[in-house]
Amino acid sequence: MRLILLGPPGAGKGTQASAIVKKYGIPHISTGDIFRVNIKMGTELGIKAKTYMDKGLLVPDELVISIVKDRLTEEDCKKGFLLDGFPRTLSQGEALDEELNDMGLKLNRVINIEVGKEVLIERAIGRRVCKDCGSTYHIKFSPPKQENICDNCGGQLFQREDDKVETIKQRIQVYLKQTKPLIDYYTKKGLILNVDALSQ
Ligand code: ADP
Ligand code: ZN
């Protein structure tokens, strides 16, 4: 199964993603997670990506595309994959098509999570992440059993820098302008499956 998960920031893509990869036994490829790991490790990629991420802007296409291309050639992707947070621009979508074409592969579906803007802001500002294992929580919709402590590993929870309200508004604007056109792109290919985030 080769899937893409599309949706605005704070739509709950992470939660959806966990359920989908479990169901199909495929690797979860999140470009946001790849960048965060690199930031934590202090790599050159991480240092570059952070300057964009902290401002709520997209990391330049040429950095993102090569990372995903490399990842798709790894052994575990033979079973398929779930791309989460990629593609995020039309040129990323086109580059992915080219790459899959070269590999002789086709996408099965693009799952598009739909959510209203007010809900997005509320979801994003309430989001908390475990500093040790990366599990995500929401102070209102899916709180941990103990405040600020990860259920999974006991780690401390924190708010991502790019989940602060001004950055979120910026990220939503970026989504509307740069990512939303992909819905049309994949609708024309007959691949879109719309999912209402609130029904989950
Ligand atoms: P969310 O889905 O909540 O926006 P992500 O974890 O997917 O968060 O991404 C966090 C940040 O990482 C984005 O705001 C952006 O700066 C960067 N990023 C992730 N994926 C991409 C991508 N495909 N292209 C450009 N930037 C990306
Ligand atoms: Zn944890």
What are the tens digits of pLDDT across the range 112-171? 998 887 888 888 889 999 999 999 999 998 999 999 999 999 999 999 888 888 888 898
Token digits of residue 159: 């708010």
Query: In the chain, where are the structural domains located?
Result: 2-115+167-199
Instruction: Select from 113, 117, 125 the least CA-distant residue to 7.
Output: 113
Q: Are 56 and 167 in contact (CB under 8 A)?
A: yes
pLDDT at 111 (0 to 100): 96
Class level of CATH domain 2-115+167-199: alpha beta
Is the torsion defined by CA of 114, 26, 168, 123 positive or negative? positive
DSSP collapsed to 3 states, the chain: CEEEEECCCCCCHHHHHHHHHHHHCCCEEEHHHHHHHHHHHCCHHHHHHHHHHCCCCCCCHHHHHHHHHHHHCCHHHHHCEEEECCCCCHHHHHHHHHHHHHHCCCCCEEEEEECCHHHHHHHHHCEEEECCCCCEEECCCECCCCCCECCCCCCEEECCHHHCHHHHHHHHHHHHHHHCHHHHHHHHCCCEEEEEHHHC
Model confidence pLDDT, tens digit, residues 136-152: 999 998 999 999 999 99
Residues at the annotated binding site for AMP? 31, 36, 57-59, 85-88, 92, 160, 171
Q: pLDDT for 17-42, tens place per residue? A: 989 999 999 999 999 999 999 999 99
Ligand approaching nearest to the C-alpha of 149 = 2
For residue 200, pLDDT over 50 is answered with no
Q: Write the CA distances from 100 to 27, 61, 69, 103, 106, integer angstroms.
A: 16, 17, 9, 5, 6
| pLDDT score at 198 | 62
Q: How far is the CA of 75 from the centre of ligand 1 (A)?
A: 24
Is 71 labeled as catalytic in the residue annotation? Answer: no
Ligand 1 mutation target, pool 35, 50, 67, 119, most atoms within 8 A of CB: 35
Catalytic residue among 13, 50, 123, 128: 13
Q: What is the pLDDT of residue 32?
A: 94
pLDDT at 193: 96
CA of 163 to the centre of ligand 2 (A): 18
Q: What does the mean pLDDT of the chain come to?
A: 93
> Which residues carry a binding-site annotation for ATP?
10-15, 127, 136-137, 199
Residue from 83, 138, 162, 179 whose mutation best tests the ligand 1 pocket (most atoms within 8 A of CB): 162
Contact between 137 and 156 under an 8 Å Cβ cutoff? The reply is no
88 flagged as catalytic: yes
117 is catalytic: no
What lines the ligand 1 site, CB under 6 Å? 9-10, 13, 31-32, 35, 52-53, 57-59, 64, 85-86, 88, 92, 162, 171
The residue from 2, 50, 123, 127 that is catalytic is 127
For residue 13, the model assigns a pLDDT of: 86
pTM: 0.86
Query: Which pair of tokens denotes residue 141?
Result: 């919709």
Distance CA 64, CA 31 (A): 7
Phi-psi domain of 37 (left: phi exceeds 0; alpha: psi -120 through 50; beta: other): alpha
CA 108 to chain centre: 18
